[in-house]
Structure formats: C-alpha cells, structure tokens
C-alpha cells in the first residue's frame, strides 16, 4: 500500500469500508476525508478492492451487455493483431471479465494475454473467472504509472475504463502505456470533451480523466481513431476510443518482466520475482505476483545457500 501516516491510514480504511457497507460512494468519502478533488491511488485501490466480485456478478447478470461491450473492443484490436497472434495487455484489468470476453472474440490461438490491476482481490476474482471460462492470462498486481514490464514488450496495450479515476495524471499515464507498447495503445475511456454537460459535471465531481486527446497530442502521438463508442453502460460516463500508434515500431525486448522501481530485469526464482542486479524481490500471493513499487523487499541473500552453523 502507498505510504501514509498510520493513524490517517487506519481512519481512511475504516471510513471507506463503513461508507461502502452503508451503500455510499467510498471514493467520494475518501475525497472528502482527504480534502481533495482528485483520487489518490490509495483511495482508488481501497475502493476497488472493496468492490471485488461485483464485476463477475454483473457479467453473469447482463451477458448481452457484456457481449456487446467486449465485441466492440475486440473489433478495435483485431485489425492490429497478426493472424499468428501476438501479445495484449489490459491495464486495470479488474476481474478480467472484459479481457476474457475480448480474448474469446479475438479467438487467436497464439495470443499471449496479460492483465494487471492495483487491487489484489480483483485479480483473484479475475483468475477465478478465467479458470471458469477455460482461459489463460498472466494476471498481476501493479500500478499503471509504474508498469513492471520492459519497454516495447507488448504488441497492444489497452484499457477499459481504468485511466478513468486517475484524473490529472493523463499525460503520465499515456506516456507509461506507450513505453510498454510495441505497436498500439488503445484507450477505451470516458471522453470528457465528447460528453454531454451532465456527463461532464459528473466526471468532474468524480475526479475522472479529461483531455486525453490533448495529452496524446502533447506527447506527439499518431491518433488513428477518436470518437464515442456506439455502446456504453452509462450515458453519463460516455465511453469512447482513442487509438494511438507508436511512432517508431520497436523490436520486442527480450525480458518482459522489469522491476517497477529500477527497471532491472526480473526473473522467476524460487517462488518470487527477483532482480539479480539489485537484490530486490517481489512476492507472489495466492498465485498473483505483487509488482507495485511498495511490494519490493530487499533480500540480497534470497536464493543463495545460507549456512545454518
């Protein structure tokens, strides 16, 4: 978890939990408790972790809606994937209900799928959902501002409403996604500028992202598509697409996993991810690698023979 004063952290956790179990908006509670208009990462992490399990329930309750949603995304990705497959990463994968539907629609046997989320509980539900669907993807806990993957290591990096709560950090987010992508970044996010006045007011009050297109332009991106999508779950949260092509296609990096603090290569050694060059290791809990910066453990002796005499 992010650093915070212990007493304040406890109050935040207890307050957000109480708000959630009362049926109130936990993020709204956090913004008011912290006296901020934006959403701190810790608040996003707590709020989404509390909701874990809800997306699997939704996917079961509204299979038609889910099918329309994922087919829209798959149709955007498929022209940019080769028949031979390739790799895709869903940033802020939640419970993998979107990723699983997208993979089913793409139906490419050779695809390598990755997904990460700031919430461990959501990844855990995601692993369960993928297992039920008979699908396979590497799920891990990470922060989208410090992705533990090498530069240009994933063909297509996409989002499905995960930049959404990170209002004010649009440029940083797009820059990090572009770093990891080899060819394309596909943002499926609420588009403030194309929304109605009511949608814009709601997005402002929730601390949601704005100016995504302007941020991409400021980064010198080639924009291939920018529009609202035909289908969205909530017109007050108008889903759109911003499709970015990486200017100079890069050769894929050899080692995919990287330390989110130092970018040193990470190897899977004796049940953890370890950076031999720095002595930092990252644990794996319940089969899910924890790859946020604050999950790092300095353990230079890990994996070496320790004498018991």
Residue 254 Cβ, how far from ligand SAM at the closest point, in Å? 25
Nearer to ligand SAM, 144 or 180 (CB): 144
Q: Which is nearer to ligand SAM, 7 or 61 (CB)?
A: 61
State which residue, 54 or 211, has the beta carbon closest to ligand SAM: 54
Q: Which residues bind ligand SAM (CB under 6 A)?
A: 41, 44, 48, 55, 90, 92-94, 97-98, 117-119, 122, 143-145, 160-162, 164-166
C-beta of 107: minimal distance to ligand SAM in Å?
19
In angstroms, give the least distance from the CB of 7 to ligand SAM. 25
Residue identified by tokens 């608040």 is: 43
Residue whose CB is less far from ligand SAM, 72 or 254 = 72
Min dist CB 62 to ligand SAM, Å, is 12
In the complex with ligand SAM, which residue's Cβ is closer, 42 or 249?
Answer: 42
C-beta of residue 171 within 8 angstroms of C-beta of residue 219:
yes
CA distances from 235 to 197, 208, 220, 279 (A): 11, 15, 30, 49
Query: C-beta of 84: minimal distance to ligand SAM in Å?
Result: 26
């Amino acid at each position: 978890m992010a650093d915070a004063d212990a007493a304040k952290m406890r109050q935040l956790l207890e307050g957000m939990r109480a708000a959630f179990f009362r049926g109130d908006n936990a993020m709204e509670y956090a913004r008011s408790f912290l006296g901020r208009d934006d959403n701190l990462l810790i608040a996003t992490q707590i709020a989404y972790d509390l909701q874990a399990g809800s997306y699997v329930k939704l996917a079961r309750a509204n299979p038609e809606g889910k099918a329309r949603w994922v087919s829209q995304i798959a149709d955007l990705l498929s022209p940019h994937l080769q028949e031979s497959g390739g790799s895709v990463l869903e940033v802020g994968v939640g419970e993998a209900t979107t990723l699983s539907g997208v993979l089913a629609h793409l139906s490419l046997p050779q695809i390598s799928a990755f997904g990460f989320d700031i919430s461990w509980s959501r990844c855990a539900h995601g692993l369960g959902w993928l297992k039920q669907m008979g699908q396979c993807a590497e799920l891990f806990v990470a922060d989208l501002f410090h992705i533990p993957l090498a530069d240009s290591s994933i063909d297509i990096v996409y989002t499905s409403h995960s930049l959404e709560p990170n209002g004010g950090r649009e440029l940083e987010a797009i820059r990090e996604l572009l770093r990891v992508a080899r060819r394309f970044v596909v943002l499926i996010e609420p588009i403030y500028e194309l929304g109605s006045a009511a949608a814009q007011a709601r997005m402002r009050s929730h601390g949601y992202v704005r100016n995504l297109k302007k941020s991409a332009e400021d980064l010198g991106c080639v924009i291939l598509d920018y529009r609202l999508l035909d289908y969205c779950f909530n017109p007050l949260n108008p889903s759109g697409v911003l499709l970015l092509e990486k200017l100079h296609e890069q050769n894929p990096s050899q080692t995919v996993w990287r330390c989110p603090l130092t970018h040193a290569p990470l190897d899977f050694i004796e049940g953890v991810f370890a950076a031999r060059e720095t002595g930092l290791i990252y644990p794996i809990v319940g089969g899910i690698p924890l790859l946020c910066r604050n999950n790092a453990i300095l353990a230079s002796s890990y994996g070496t023979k320790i004498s018991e005499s």
